[in-house]
Structure 1
Amino acid sequence: MTLIRSISGLRGVINDGLSEQIVRDYATAFAIYCKEGKIVIGRDGRPSGKWIEDVIVRVFVSLGFDVDLIGVAPTPTIQLCVEKSDATGGIAITASHNPSEWNGLKFINESGIFLNKLENNVLWNILDNIRASQFNRLKKDTNINVDENAKQNHILSILRLPIFTDTDNFERIRQRKFNVVVDAVNASGSEIICDLLVNFGCKVIKLFCDGSGVFPHPPEPLPQNLTQLSKVVRDNSFDIGIAVDPDADRLVLVDEKGNCIGEEKTICLAIDSVLSSYKYFVNHYSKTVVINHSTTALIEDIAEKYGAKVVRSAVGEVNVVEKMKEEKSVIGGEGSGGVILPTCHYGRDSLVGIALVLHLLSQRDSSLSELIESYPVYYMLKEKVQTNINIMEVRSRLQELLPNSEIIVEDGLKAIEEDLWVHIRVSNTEPIVRIIVEGKREERAIKIMDKLYSIII
């Protein structure tokens, strides 16, 4: 049985772990957690999402909740709807970047933020120890509302950011008339991303944007899965290629030469964009950037240029968000392509990332490749290993391999040297161990990865 529950919610393979009964049980537990009120529900477009939605709606209605249905929509859209409404919680039906046979549930608290570790523990305790029959309050006048304005409200929240309303940047972007190719893997970003780009005056070329939820290639936006996007951009001399995962919280870009610039560069560009216009955010946020331990060290270089502080957290959106709130950070995110801008909302958001990148391109009057070439070069290697090893058992061997390193154990094992770092951790979303090595010298990074791989397996 394939079922994973973590700080990233619940994920499983349909009918091999994620069954109707499991969905019903988790929905009931979340209803008990929320106690009463209204729940917001949306899905990433996978065909299995419809029957899961139906099950969840029946549970909440039977337990006296009102329901707002968003339909097929990005996870950040669902989060924003919860935050801006009087809902007591929300559920995004998605398995994010996992293959099509997977689906899952992301649980959102009344503030529009994913449940943190403590909140998840409360939810799981309810699930594991309380029978559904113990919570059978029925309200006969329950309402089910279909929210047809959620996507437009999300777009408006971005267009109303101060970098657009208090400057001429919006018109400068429109004057560039960018030609943009969009690969939304036929999922939740298919419509809303194209609509956002049209608002910015872009000519949009839709590659995989039919909204069917049928993925044309593996859905994780990695270079090996984006060859068609790269070819279309390169062969037609378009300006930018945009790729998102099924629930559109991650953004990956292709430059005008057809090069996939890598998921790590998304947050770099977004941070550069915000810090370059920090004066429009200064009244509410500190000049602090929060990223996770697996994100590129290039962030420190960009932050240093603007005199900003960098704070790192454990991997996982909610971990980054909690640290951002603590630091009153102006922007944060993760190297997987996730951008979090609290001025809009506290959640990874590909649409926010797109807007910030267009802002930076118009501000610098440059191409995407020119922006990337202006940054220092780092070499990052990522590997996945299926193993049951206890990561902490390899700490001594990691210290032997990198004797001059500082070891951090906040999230797995991280070893930091002056020009290289290593991060080994158990995934929140897949039954694997992730190994990441980044350094300024490619040859040494490869050598260290080879040795780590042999240690882990």
Structure 2
Amino acid sequence: MRKYFGTDGIRGRANGVITPDLAMKVGQAAGLLFQRGEHRHRVIIGKDTRLSGYMIENALVAGFTSVGMDVLLLGPMPTPAVAMLTRSMRCDLGVMISASHNPYEDNGIKLFGPDGFKLNDDVEMEIEALIDSDLTQRLSGSAKLGRAKRIESADARYIEFAKRTLPRQLDLEGMRVVVDCANGAGYKVAPEALWELGADVISLGVEPNGFNINQDVGSTAPDALVRKVREVRADVGIALDGDADRVLIVDEKGQKVDGDQLMGVVARSWKDDGRLTQSGIVATIMSNLGLERYLGGLGLNLVRTAVGDRYVLEHMRAHGFNLGGEQSGHIIMSDYTTTGDGLIAALQLLAVVKRCERPVSEVCHCFEPLPQVLKNVRYKSGKPLQETSVVQAIEAGRERLGAHGRLIIRPSGTEPVIRVMGEGDDGDLVNRVVDDVVEAVTRAASQSAAPAAIKGAA
């Protein structure tokens, strides 16, 4: 069992779970663990636009410098940019302060190794053990404290990196693009990169104030983007999330295009170009069965992992895949990046659109997704999924769907909810099955949260 780390770093309410004390200890623990060799050790820190980012950033700086690591501060910067710059600037460690698509009240700490990849479970467990140890005995002497400075060129470095993922002869001239940056980490770099590639750019979600990240904008709230695409008659809309590692596309008709369709587009293009390193791609258990069937028609496999882009990436690295991702829009293209990158995924899609000389609505409609229903059940305590009534409801639901559908039930790794997802050829049946399981989980969760006397009376 892990005490601090979830599926994507450490995440929780700012000044609740994520306190200055915890952030400083994370800096000290990670700093000590990654001081390998005799060189001057460096860590790079980026953040999104949440108000609490200032507090956490300063606490991390105190932690890292207290154990002798120099700190390079990037300011607001996408998560994939932090991963890329960790490698590019030869740092021992990279840190992103972000809670991704969560509201501004939350924040988080994501760590990257010197290779730009997220840390594996074993390393995170080592950091947890150090956090709970007496770190005061391992602080640096006065003469060996670390230094901190800001890197002013970070935006330009990442923009140039993103542009180079397109062939030199390809640009976005003639395309009208609406980009929604969720008032988050990509609010400067994404519009600039698209403009430098020649697009006519209309920007949304580029006025962060510390409180409005992901608020009615971005990939988790795309309605504003849909309206703007229709209003200005754009060729495409691009919605990023708070830390810009995921993307959602809106076509010229205002229709939303999720990560499954994007993976289908890129998989077919890369297969035709001979660029796929394996005969398939990697996705999670949440990806639509329609994608699996579509890839099968192309002679490609869909390998599924647990939910979380880190697990997709781990399988990609272990088995030599260069394309994978999540339905939510985390698209990993390991030829370019070590993590999901919303901007680069969007650019790869636009490259296909330009080459095909067809509208986005035609390029991106690879397959007809099977009816899929996802509902969340919030709970406060206990283990509702272990209740007999819930187990029986899940077994009954899977039996009803049979071979023509799937039922996935899992606790979220980033918030206290249980996700119930069903899909199948019969949409009405899927809805009934999901509702029955949700009802059973809700009842079990309410009983677990009730005081003992009340539960006994029930």
**TM-score for both structures, normalised by structure 2:** 0.87
Residues 213, 242 of structure 2: 8 Å contact kept: no
**What SS is found at the alignment partner of 1:343?**
coil
Correspondence for 1:186: 183
Residues of 2 paired with 1:326 and 1:108: CA distance? 18
Letter paired with 1:252: L
User: Which stretch of the first structure deviates more once superposed, 340-349 or 443-452?
Assistant: 443-452
Correspondence for 1:70: 74
Letter paired with 2:21: Q
Residues of 2 paired with 1:119 and 1:7: CA distance? 13
Q: 2:205 matched to 1:208?
A: yes
Correspondence for 1:89: 93
Q: 2:195 matched to 1:198?
A: yes
Q: How many residues align?
A: 431
- Alignment equivalent of 2:416, drawn from 431, 448, 453: 431
Question: What is the 5 A alignment of 1:14-29?
Answer: 14-29=14-29
Q: 2:225 matched to 1:229?
A: yes
**What SS is found at the alignment partner of 2:110?**
strand
Correspondence for 1:413: none
Question: What is the 5 A alignment of 1:349-364?
Answer: 349-364=341-356
Residues 68, 140 of structure 2: 8 Å contact kept: yes
Correspondence for 1:119: 123
User: Which stretch of the first structure deviates more once superposed, 242-251 or 9-18?
Assistant: 9-18
**What SS is found at the alignment partner of 1:104?**
strand
Correspondence for 1:337: 329
Residues 42, 91 of structure 1: 8 Å contact kept: yes
Residues of 2 paired with 1:111 and 1:227: CA distance? 37
Correspondence for 2:436: 451
Correspondence for 1:421: 406
Distance 1:178 1:313, change over 3 A: same
**What SS is found at the alignment partner of 1:403?**
helix
Distance 1:74 1:386, change over 3 A: same
Distance 1:115 1:38, change over 3 A: same
**What SS is found at the alignment partner of 1:17?**
coil
- Point out the structure with max Rg over C-alpha: 2
Distance 1:356 1:286, change over 3 A: same
Correspondence for 1:269: 265
Q: Which runs of 5+ in 1 are unaligned?
A: 406-416
Distance 1:111 1:236, change over 3 A: same
Using the TM superposition, give the Cα deviation of residue 105 of structure 1 relative to its aligned residue in structure 2, in angstroms: 0.5
Question: What is the 5 A alignment of 1:40-439?
Answer: 40-128=44-132, 130-138=133-141, 139-140=143-144, 142-161=146-165, 164-165=167-168, 168=169, 170-171=170-171, 174-175=172-173, 177-215=174-212, 218=215, 221=218, 225-277=221-273, 279=274, 281=275, 285-387=277-379, 388-393=382-387, 394-403=390-399, 417-439=402-424
Distance 1:292 1:373, change over 3 A: closer
**What SS is found at the alignment partner of 1:156?**
helix
**What SS is found at the alignment partner of 2:23?**
helix
Residues of 1 paired with 2:87 and 2:297: CA distance? 34
Using the TM superposition, give the Cα deviation of residue 78 of structure 1 relative to its aligned residue in structure 2, in angstroms: 0.3
RMSD: 2.4
Residues of 2 paired with 1:430 and 1:141: CA distance? 37
